Structure 1
Amino acid sequence: MTALLTAAPLGAAAHQLVVFASVDCEAVTVEAKFSNGKIAQRGDVRILDGENALLSTLPLQEDGTANVPLDSVDHSGGLVIEVDTGSHDNYWILTPQDIARNCGS
């Protein structure tokens, strides 16, 4: 009976959403997949500024990605990228230093 109780939480966490965002000087590329490797095919991507104010919302594409042109958002204070699939959510933070470093400035 104890083995069943300790195994249950592990099974519940088996499909955690993993979010990754990378940036170049033109766009932020967001990738979302589950911890089992399956691509998140549906969901919303919210782009927030460094103060957590919503800047933009766009759909997650069927390949588990979304692209956000840098010139479409104020990224001077960094960005918080949130992905919500309806049943799972997670986020990635891009600092102003991350953005500057990847733009070579």
Structure 2
Amino acid sequence: MNNEMEMIIFNIINYAGTAKGLAYEALNEAEKGNFDKIPELMKEADQNLLEAHKVQTSIIQAEARGEKPEVSVLFVHAQDQLMTAMESKTLIESLIRMHKKIDGVK
């Protein structure tokens, strides 16, 4: 695997991990009743997911052009991190809505 591909993979992992961490931070704020901090945390999580998705899309586009990326365990790990970050964020959004409902916040 070349250095460029490694950097691409590590960017996906970094953005996905940051997004998931921010979403969990937002959930922690919901658990404390600090609902005013949540929108900014979730917006930042979305921005990180968008960046990860852009990087992933560049790999897909390269493959569509006939370039065959090397599929390594690290690449599979990056894809797994992105998918779990996206799913975690979706679930966390639901949990935050439940906390708001329980606390009577609209």
Larger RCO (CA under 8 A, 6+ residues apart): 2
- TM-score normalised to the size of structure 1? 0.29
Structure with greater strand percent: 1
More helix by share: 2
- TM-score (norm. length: structure 2): 0.29
